[in-house]
Structure 1
Amino acid sequence: MLSKLQSYYPNAIAMNIPPTVTEKDYYWFKEEMKELYWVGVPKSELREGQLELLSTLYELVIPDHSSYLSDSVREWYAYLCQQGDLPTINREKTIRFIQVHINSFDQEIKGFEEAIREFFTQSLAFLWLDKQNGIIIEEKSEISYGEEELYSISITLENDFYLKPYFYIGKFRNKFTTLRELFSLERDLFIQALKHLSKERVYSFEKIFPFLLASNLPDLPSNILKKDILPILREDSELRRTLIVFLEHNSNTSHAAKTLYVHRNTLQYRIDKFSEKTDINLKHFNSAIMVYLTCLLVNLPE
């Protein structure tokens, strides 16, 4: 759409954030291809009858005050997505990005956005990258949320708006010269996590790292695992689940059994049987790492 309009209107512009009342010198049209875009055509370039014609071809958008974006949001968007300058911030503070992804887009998005702002009242800004992905920018404070709190927020928002939100918790950082680059890296991690670890709701680098390591193992160790251990785990999903929960609970039998809703003796029996089959002692740290990575390999394509 943009290329066609620009051939007729050289000064047409495009944005992937909604236009606001401040862009009053343009007529705005919305297009959804691979991503959602708003294209603005200068009012001064439209001749009589052309607005009516364009309105029949594309969706005309009338910006209103409800879609107004603050200067802070625009500054952060320009910095992260358009190579703009870093917004004015307290250099003695540390900053992190919490990324938000929703599984669908509908008319409740404004209410969803307001709810996000209520949960993150101390944030520097909240902005949308596109129709399903947003960013919360915040300084470290006494009420900075962790994984459990974000999980609860995700459940609450889903119950209220029927939109399933996913979060990626970025690291707090004070090296502002690399802030944009680090955000871009975290963005890539989040995209991979959503693709391969869709059962989770809240992600962090620590949570994603083992999967990335397992999926990028060199051929030699990968082939050995595929021959020795992987067949056992593929044929017994219950055993695989037991091992993952056991290792994720720091090899604590009682805690793992409680999570699995089994008696601790049952859990111990499964672990002992695995050790007998493989001659692997899960009490050894290196063995535990190896088995955990192998469990993650199961769901990867062969």
Structure 2
Amino acid sequence: MEDLLKELFPEAKVNQSSWMGNDYFTVPLEGKFMHFASGTITDREKRLIIQMLEPDTVFNTGLKNVWAHYLLENPNPIPSGYERIQVLQVTLKQTSPEPIDRKLWLDAFKNTLSSIVDGFFVSEQYAIFIIHNPDHFELTNEIEGVLNVLDDDFGIKSNAYLGQNWTVNSFLPALFLEEQSIFLDTRSRSQADQIVTLTTTALPHYTFEAASKSPILATIKEGIQNIDGGADLVYAMWQNQGNISKAATDLYVHRNTLQYRIDRFVDTIGLNLKKMDDLLLSYMALHARFK
């Protein structure tokens, strides 16, 4: 794939950096990143490249759905009737010998969540849903619950990215394109969560370039990984914003046990997970990817 893209886009650069500035369009590629300078690639070519790099996904042109045309082909005309929407991306992987009835799955998902106004398959394993959520309700847990039920019913494994609430205008397709790239980047790494969002992925995604070159973060990461349960401790504290009682509940341990582990973490790593700056540094170290 890299040779083909280099042939088609000889000006493109391939390296270990995930970010080269706003003047570049960047996609993950076989453990590295490929960068296309602005002016050397069109929006349609960007979407085609993303679909080429997504395993088992083939981009469908000529999509008749109005939202599909707007997001994936041409930002005009702009769909009417909704001031702001969220885009939910879902990938499916078959885990049973029975083929996936995609139409039935699509209808089941659309009918289960009242906030969904439309949905369509871009390929056999990649679907997009349009969500109208004007009151900004937290939908992550609800969507994850529906996905879990449908995964069991249809014999599949799904992963999803719930986008931000964006204004429906001519700029939204560009925002969606970046969210699509973030989702692809997330899936190229080990990801325990079934559904991710911009806020849960932004830190490791946007700080990758600096983090990947840091011997300090590499040393901290190695130290955390050498502690039994060290990574789980950091993640639990991060997800609960440093609240020891809630983190202890997530880890199924007594609060005093967790406090002991935090004290041991301080003695070993030199960072106090009860301090948000120390917790942030530990979290960044765990998400850093190195050569």
After TM superposition, is the score higher than 0.5? yes
Report the CA distance shift for 1:218/1:83 in structure 2 as closer, same or farther (over 3 A): same
Structure 1 residues without counterparts, runs of 5 or longer: 1-32, 40-68
Structure 1 counterpart of 2:262, which letter? I
Structure 2 counterpart of 1:171, which letter? Q
Query: How far, CA to CA, are the matches of 2:75 and 2:125 in structure 1?
Result: 23
Residue equivalent to 1:103: 93
Contact 2:59 2:122 in 1 (8 A): no
The SS at the match of 1:164 is strand
Q: Which has the higher contact order (CA 8 A, sep 6+)?
A: 2
Cα deviation for residue 237 of structure 1 reads: 4.2
Residue equivalent to 2:76: 85
Contact 2:217 2:285 in 1 (8 A): yes
Query: How far, CA to CA, are the matches of 2:59 and 2:282 in structure 1?
Result: 46
Query: How far, CA to CA, are the matches of 1:224 and 1:85 in structure 2?
Result: 48
| Equivalent of 2:151 in 144, 155, 158 | 158
1:242 partnered with 2:240: no
Cα deviation for residue 211 of structure 1 reads: 2.0
Contact 1:140 1:172 in 2 (8 A): yes
| Equivalent of 1:139 in 132, 139, 142 | 132
Question: Which structure has the larger Rg?
Answer: 1
1:127 partnered with 2:120: yes
Contact 1:76 1:86 in 2 (8 A): no
Contact 2:86 2:164 in 1 (8 A): yes
Contact 1:214 1:296 in 2 (8 A): no
Structure 1 counterpart of 2:117, which letter? L
Structure 1 counterpart of 2:79, which letter? T
Report the CA distance shift for 1:96/1:271 in structure 2 as closer, same or farther (over 3 A): same
Query: How far, CA to CA, are the matches of 2:72 and 2:60 in structure 1?
Result: 16
Query: How far, CA to CA, are the matches of 2:212 and 2:191 in structure 1?
Result: 26
Structure 2 counterpart of 1:124, which letter? V
Structure 2 counterpart of 1:113, which letter? L
Residue-by-residue CA offset, 1:122-175 (whole Å, 9 max, x unaligned) = 533211111111111132246966111011011111111111222211111225
Query: How far, CA to CA, are the matches of 2:196 and 2:282 in structure 1?
Result: 22
1:269 partnered with 2:243: no
Cα deviation for residue 265 of structure 1 reads: 1.4
Query: How far, CA to CA, are the matches of 1:207 and 1:114 in structure 2?
Result: 28
RMSD of aligned C-alpha atoms?
Answer: 2.8
Structure 2 counterpart of 1:246, which letter? M
> Structure 1 vs Structure 2: percent identity of aligned residues?
21
Query: How far, CA to CA, are the matches of 2:197 and 2:84 in structure 1?
Result: 17
Residue equivalent to 2:186: 193
Residue equivalent to 1:223: 215
Residue equivalent to 1:63: none
Residue-by-residue CA offset, 1:57-97 (whole Å, 9 max, x unaligned) = xxxxxxxxxxxx9xxx5222222222252343136x21221
Structure 1 counterpart of 2:109, which letter? I
Structure 1 counterpart of 2:275, which letter? H
Report the CA distance shift for 1:38/1:239 in structure 2 as closer, same or farther (over 3 A): closer
Structure 1 counterpart of 2:161, which letter? Y
Residue-by-residue CA offset, 1:158-216 (whole Å, 9 max, x unaligned) = 11111122221111122512011111111111111122143211110001112224533
TM-score when normalising by structure 2: 0.71
Query: How far, CA to CA, are the matches of 2:196 and 2:81 in structure 1?
Result: 27
- After TM superposition, list the pairs within 5 Å mapping 1:1-302 onto structure 2: 35-36=57-58, 74-83=65-74, 85-90=76-81, 93-104=83-94, 106-141=99-134, 146-174=139-167, 176-217=169-210, 222-227=214-219, 229-297=220-288, 300-302=289-291
The SS at the match of 1:270 is helix
